[in-house]
């Protein structure tokens, strides 16, 4: 089998969010512990495993995602990376459907190299931020929302873009939160060019100190900012060190995420996953 490293939500290498993609032979997944061991060995924020489904199944491929420490219910950048690999490595064109823990997800690779993901919109509800987490962030908080079961984060709005960029949180304190972690966001600065809002994502509880560009988080960020800015189509900048842009469009209970991807490493997997 081949293993490919893909930088997602970017059109240039060594930016965006890297994911490993493994297209599996056969019609099923190896044992969970084998998948988790490989994800830990790869040590990227996500490793995606996919296998083809029978012709009349509800989807075209089954897809799962693992961080270095656990399986997750939803991952945007590794789904984008998988759709990119299907186009570049197998020549598949047109839309593809993935059967996942979050239901059937759609992806379509476009001729310009971008990929459009069709994901469920995160259901936002007001929440309380524990005092320890508030202290760990070290910046004034305007609002807090829970993002639902699939995303599993707290969405924390702060005062401005400069606050988001300057964050240096206490990751040990954030690791004690229930769920995956914290999405911190603010409206773009008045002189910002090319984006409407900014975010950063901290997930130490699942082995990711700061995720570079988080597609799943944008299923919550998109409805949050669309309601405030009065537009369904927006562009989010994730202001990590690697940075990345996610173009979003809210369509009721579905959110479209659009971004590009670049394959940077490709090689052979020498160890049998079932071993």
What is the per-residue pLDDT across 33-84, written as a single tens digit (0 to 9) for each?
999 999 999 999 999 999 999 999 999 999 999 999 999 999 999 999 999 9
Provide the pairing of β-strand 233-238 with 244-251. Answer: antiparallel
Same domain, 74 and 181: no
Is 238 within 8 Å of 210 (Cβ atoms)? no
Domain with residue 149: its CATH number is: 3.10.310.10
Tell me, yes or no, whether 273 lies in a domain. no
Tell me, yes or no, whether 275 lies in a domain. no
**DSSP E strand stretches across 171-216:** 181-187, 197-203, 208-211
pLDDT in tens, 197-220: 999 999 999 999 999 999 999 999
Q: CA–CA separation, 139 vs 225, rounded Å? A: 20
Same domain, 183 and 108: no
Residue 275 pLDDT more than 70?
no
Same domain, 77 and 167: no
Q: Which two three-digit tokens encode residue 84?
A: 């990119």
Same domain, 223 and 237: yes
Same domain, 38 and 99: yes
Q: How many CA atoms lie within 13 A of 205 on its CB side?
A: 16
Same domain, 155 and 111: no
Same domain, 58 and 164: no
Nearest to 105 by CA among 155, 145, 50: 50
A 10 A CB-CB count for 95 gives: 13
Tell me, yes or no, whether 21 lies in a domain. yes
**How many structural domains comprise the chain?**
2
Tell me, yes or no, whether 16 lies in a domain. yes
Same domain, 13 and 116: yes
261 by Cβ neighbours in 10 Å (0-12 / 13-18 / 19+) ranks as buried
Which active-site residues does the annotation give? 46
pLDDT score at 29? 96
Q: Which domain holds residue 7?
A: 2-120+259-268
Which residue carries 């799943």 as its tokens? 216
Q: Which two three-digit tokens encode residue 170?
A: 């206490």
- Report helix, strand or coil for 43: coil
Tell me, yes or no, whether 174 lies in a domain. yes
In angstroms, the Cα distances linking 56 to 29, 94, 104 are 19, 18, 14
User: Model confidence at 273, in pLDDT bands (50, 70, 90)?
Assistant: confident
In sequence order, which residues have a C-beta less than 8 Å from that of residue 44 and are 6 or more positions away? 5, 18, 19, 20, 68
Same domain, 52 and 143: no
pLDDT score at 26? 79
Residue 65 forms beta bridges with which residues? Answer: 48, 72
Same domain, 210 and 156: yes
Tell me, yes or no, whether 115 lies in a domain. yes
Tell me, yes or no, whether 221 lies in a domain. yes
Nearest to 38 by CA among 25, 48, 28, 26: 48
pLDDT score at 220? 98
Q: CA–CA separation, 11 vs 94, rounded Å? A: 20
């Amino acid at each position: 089998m081949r293993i490919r490293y893909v930088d997602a939500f970017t059109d240039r290498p060594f930016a965006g969010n890297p994911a490993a993609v493994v297209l599996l032979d056969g019609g099923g997944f190896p044992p969970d512990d084998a998948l988790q061991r490989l994800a830990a060995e790869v040590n990227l924020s996500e490793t995606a495993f996919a296998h083809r489904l029978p012709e009349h199944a509800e989807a075209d491929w089954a897809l799962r995602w693992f961080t270095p420490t656990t399986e997750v219910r939803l991952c945007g950048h590794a789904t984008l990376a998988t759709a990119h690999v299907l186009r570049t490595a197998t020549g598949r064109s047109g839309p593809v459907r993935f059967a996942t823990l979050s239901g059937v997800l759609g992806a379509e690779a476009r001729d310009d190299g971008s990929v459009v993901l069709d994901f469920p919109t995160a259901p936002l509800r007001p929440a309380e931020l524990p005092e320890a987490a508030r202290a760990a962030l070290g910046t004034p908080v305007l609002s807090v929302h829970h993002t639902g079961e699939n995303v599993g984060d707290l969405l924390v709005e702060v005062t401005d873009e400069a606050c988001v960029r300057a964050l240096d949180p206490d990751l040990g304190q954030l690791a004690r939160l229930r769920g995956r972690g914290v999405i911190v966001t603010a409206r773009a600065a008045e002189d910002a060019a090319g984006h409407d809002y900014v975010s950063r994502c901290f997930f130490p509880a699942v082995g990711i100190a700061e995720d570079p560009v988080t597609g799943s988080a944008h299923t919550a960020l998109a409805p949050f900012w669309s309601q405030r800015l009065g537009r369904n189509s927006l562009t989010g900048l994730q202001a990590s060190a690697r940075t990345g842009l996610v173009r979003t469009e809210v369509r009721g209970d579905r959110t479209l995420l659009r971004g590009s991807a670049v394959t940077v490493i490709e090689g052979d997997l020498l160890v049998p996953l079932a071993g």
